[in-house]
Amino acid sequence: MRRIFKMIVACYAFLILAPCACLFADTITRKDGSEIKGVVVEEYKDRLVFSTADGEIKIMKSDIRNIILDDEDANLIRLAEKARSDGDYAKAAGYYEKALAITPGSRAAKDGLLFIQLRSYQKDVANKAADIEKMAMIDQSGFAPAKKTESAEVDGLKKRLMDSIGMSLVFDKGFPVVERLKENMPAQDAGIMRGDRIVAIWGRLTGYLSLEEVMDILLNKGSMEVRCTVERTVKVPMKRGRNAIAPADRIDASLGIGPEGLAIFSLKDGGLSARAGLDKADLIVAIDGMPTRYLQLGRALALIGDSEGDSVKLTFRRDVVIWKGGA
């Protein structure tokens, strides 16, 4: 099965990288000056999975000088996230605004701008509060408070995250994963489940962040809400008789290509997909482990229709909003 998967990806990459379509491929420039074209199919904190005409390869980010994606707005979003990582929020805002000018409905750009606005407000409030607290302690004791150790700060963030939002996180394969949930708390109320990957917060990929940075953003006091994108894999039972039933009907769902890729357009109430946990507008990012990026609708439906056994594994991403209340 793995060999077949590699062959399919390699063949598809070859079609993308054919001379007539080479302008539509992602380009990676290594630090030694060499270039390689293909498709970025997965991205982690320290590496990329890159599909080329010769198959999938892993490239460490430390070996990369530059990445040019196949569309301009995606490149602007990437530059904006890099500026945010460097703390240059003014530059990041400029890149987000340019991305919005190209794609007015870009959710990543809108969420990025909103995050910067909230971050700026929070920073002003936090600075004022910290100055007042520091002055009060100096007045009482005659000396400034000692800085907390890093481990104490991390432990404090973990406790605050559980107390205010009701979840704990661990890193797994480059992304924060929900390890525990507390009942009747904001995270559970938002529909987050144990084992979910938090792949983005306010449109920013968490693969670029440390666990401390992720928790800090989730605990941002400048906002009563946090917009997250979660990723989850579910097993959807299928109706028998694959040769006589349309692929979409086998899982009681209608799929289509939306602005961000393969998505669920509609579901049958109480149907197989709905009972498995899928919902309308969920973005399907993998079918039986095969990434759907750049797949045409017919090919994606064929993967479902050709799935062996009585079920198909669908990996989907969904936007959720965590309302923190008075936290």
CATH of residue 30's domain is: 2.30.30.100
For residue 134, the domain's CATH number is 1.25.40
* Regions in the chain scoring below 50 on pLDDT: 1-24, 137-150, 326-327
pLDDT of residue 274: 95
d(CA 253, CA 269): 10
Question: Does the residue 145 lie in any domain?
Answer: no
Q: Which of 206, 221, 214, 164 is nearest to 189 (CA)?
A: 164
Question: Does the residue 114 lie in any domain?
Answer: yes
Q: 238 with 271: CB under 8 angstroms?
A: no
Can you give the three-state secondary structure of the chain, one letter per residue? CHHHHHHHHHHHHHHHHCHHHHHHCEEEEECCCCEEEEEEEEECCCEEEEEECCEEEEEEHHHEEEEECCCHHHHHHHHHHHHHHCCCHHHHHHHHHHHHHHCCCCHHHHHHHHHHHHHHHHHHHHHHHHHHHHHHHHHHHCCCCCCCCHHHHHHHHHHHHHHHCCEEEEEECCEEEEEEECCCCHHHHCCCCCCCEEEEECCEEHHHCCHHHHHHHHCCCCCCEEEEEEEEEEEEECCCCCCCCCHHHHCCEEEEEECCEEEEEEECCCCHHHHHCCCCCCEEEEECCEECCCCCHHHHHHHHHCCCCCEEEEEEEEEEEEECCCC
Question: Does the residue 243 lie in any domain?
Answer: yes
**Final residue in a domain of this structure, among 90, 105, 139:** 139
| CA-derived radius of gyration, the chain | 22
Domain range enclosing 250: 232-320
Token pair 């917009």 is at which residue? 227
**Final residue in a domain of this structure, among 114, 139, 164:** 139
Work out how many domains the chain is built from and give that number. 3
45 and 108 in one domain? no
pLDDT of residue 23: 38
**Final residue in a domain of this structure, among 33, 51, 70:** 70
For residue 274, the domain's CATH number is 2.30.42.10
pLDDT of residue 279: 95
pLDDT of residue 55: 77
307 and 236 in one domain? yes
316 and 244 in one domain? yes
Model confidence, pTM: 0.62
pLDDT of residue 14: 39
pLDDT of residue 133: 54
Sign of torsion, CA 316 92 112 172?
positive
d(CA 155, CA 263): 38
pLDDT of residue 113: 82
285 and 254 in one domain? yes
41 and 94 in one domain? no
